[in-house]
Structure 1
């Protein structure tokens, strides 16, 4: 442990896949006596999750460059320069941090560029198997690039200007997830010990096609005695899903629909089976709690990285994968209902998942943060 009390700046935003690993690191750093400040957009998910976790969020306004709309480049660069100027002013007023960490997405760029110009070391964390543009652009000047899965190493090591150090730390999982118990989870969602719980979610932004596919299986799923469905639709898909399901009061007791699950740790701990996308954060949390899963990767993810993410679980026998374009075909319903009906198969998958948990990732990443300061 570093004996100094460090000032650590973290940039993470946009989706829970970026924010939750950053919060997991922040919790570990706070426990070590360091002070953490976040930089992000108050209008995005971090505007709620970061203050709820007890950390300060410094507002940053940026916008990504849409390559299909070249005219957005000018406004993106203007916002980036303005944000960087504001951060530079904050450093002058309050002092620069000792170290910074970026978790991908454009929101990290003004902070880390300002740190580089101020001589402040920074690290990157890449959650996905296929690195994003921001992390690839910032990697050459990073003290270390910390990756979640081995598949990401090649990109950073073979770049024209390779990263100085690429370290496999895993993807941090928040303690509220990793420490959750089945008993507490079942109590939180009012599920009896002998009931089978199917947890459906599409990540923090939802998944319309998964919602549609599950809705079509309403009759078959509710025909399974003792099955309870907890269904997180995403905010945008909530009203449409409620309308499509048209649940009676009795059916609502067994099929709980909500826009977002804030206590995901308890939900996963309570679950017997998960149906979800394959975002990096979801994969890490499913692995940490060793939950059998059916994964439907988001088909429009950059370089199809969610399919690569999913292989972390499927290659170990801990999950099944059905492509998004197969949701409307029999293979989707057959796979999902087959897993619901086969408790022994689910238990084999759970046993396989237990060997994949990344419960030490927060510690490993915090060690890298402290090491970067010692080297600087």
Structure 2
């Protein structure tokens, strides 16, 4: 069976798509990615070993402007190119993980009546997914509360699957992982991840809180984002050799998670799925400008289960950050309870569930090896 995967722009859309691709390949299916040249998928998909076709696409503003009209024209060109690609390659089905990068293929599939599965990783659906939902054969969701937002007409097509994560997430030896980053294998470790591009507010709070955290016995592995690394290194030069390790981008997130006792993060869908798969307690700072404030809704699922704490971005201070982190790192029982709560929210069968839906849609039921 041949499946086209689309969606991208950010890690929240790209990471689940790659996880689905790995499950499809393991089940014996052919996969082709369709994305943009400017999104994260342009780099991450080939690095994961999958072919990708680039189509024109741009995010469309809700406000009428010359830029919005240009974006509509670019996306229209992308739909035409996607329709030609579908007519030539004739896939059994397509799957979209959301984001503007998936719009062109999604609309072309609707026009040509190619079976489409939409995956919505957040508690609040994105605009592209909502627009395409009326034509989708199946709508897979990560959160039960997301389903009703597609409306009564979609109720029978919504399936709760959870968010797929890559097979390398959730294992690994903590000692070996810490040594891989030059960390002390015996010190409690905070992993800081502000999304694939980093987060300036989190970076600034961590820089200011780091001396207190290090003095309390913690060590820090900090993904700053490629655009921020030089500034962070300059601001933390005095912390060299004390257990603070800044990196621009973590290529091997499985190893980074294995090294950690606690994570400080945004609350994008992929991050939350990976955190729960690893059973990590989380101090979450939702991105305040996410569409529909969906990151706050994502974070509440963990906080309500006792798996972590939420600090609104506007309330993030070095002192508050240090207090939240040390609450877990200095309290073994609290950390263990939060870890168990986090792991209880994991859906390790999410990718396999989506593969089964695609097999049903594509008219084939090849025995899965998952």
Fold match by TM threshold 0.5: yes
What is the deviation of 1:312? 1.6
What is the deviation of 1:241? 1.5
Alignment of 1:184-263 (within 5 A): 184-225=176-217, 227-251=218-242, 254-263=243-252
Distance 2:272 2:188 in 1: 21
Note the alpha carbon deviations across 1:290-335, whole angstroms, 9 max, x for none.
0111111111111211111011211111111111111127433322
**Is 2:205–2:318's contact at 8 Å kept on the other side of the alignment?**
no
**Is 1:140–1:163's contact at 8 Å kept on the other side of the alignment?**
no
Alignment of 1:91-130 (within 5 A): 91-92=86-87, 94-130=88-124
What is the deviation of 1:357? 1.4
Distance 1:207 1:249 in 2: 22
Query: Would the alpha carbon gap of residues 163 and 105 (structure 1) be closer, same or farther in structure 2, given more than 3 Å must change?
Result: farther
Distance 1:341 1:141 in 2: 51
Alignment of 1:362-373 (within 5 A): 362-373=351-362
1:334 maps onto 2:326 in alignment: no
Query: Would the alpha carbon gap of residues 205 and 350 (structure 1) be closer, same or farther in structure 2, given more than 3 Å must change?
Result: same
Alignment of 1:69-148 (within 5 A): 70-92=65-87, 94-148=88-142
Q: SS at 1:354's partner residue? A: helix
Distance 2:63 2:325 in 1: 36
What is the deviation of 1:183? 4.4
Query: Would the alpha carbon gap of residues 217 and 248 (structure 1) be closer, same or farther in structure 2, given more than 3 Å must change?
Result: closer
Q: SS at 1:58's partner residue? A: strand
Query: Would the alpha carbon gap of residues 69 and 334 (structure 1) be closer, same or farther in structure 2, given more than 3 Å must change?
Result: farther
Q: SS at 1:174's partner residue? A: coil
Q: Give the paired residue count.
A: 364
**Is 2:13–2:98's contact at 8 Å kept on the other side of the alignment?**
yes
Query: Would the alpha carbon gap of residues 179 and 29 (structure 1) be closer, same or farther in structure 2, given more than 3 Å must change?
Result: farther
Q: SS at 2:283's partner residue? A: strand
Distance 2:50 2:228 in 1: 30
> Of 161, 168, 172, which aligns to 1:169?
161
Structure 2 match to 1:3: none
What is the deviation of 1:164? 5.3
**Is 2:9–2:100's contact at 8 Å kept on the other side of the alignment?**
no
**Is 1:157–1:166's contact at 8 Å kept on the other side of the alignment?**
no
Query: Would the alpha carbon gap of residues 334 and 187 (structure 1) be closer, same or farther in structure 2, given more than 3 Å must change?
Result: closer
Q: TM-score normalised to the size of structure 2?
A: 0.94
Distance 1:245 1:291 in 2: 26
Gaps of 5+ in 1: 1-5
What is the deviation of 1:345? 1.5
Note the alpha carbon deviations across 1:94-124, whole angstroms, 9 max, x for none.
4221100011111111112212222210010
Q: SS at 1:10's partner residue? A: strand
**Is 1:141–1:163's contact at 8 Å kept on the other side of the alignment?**
no
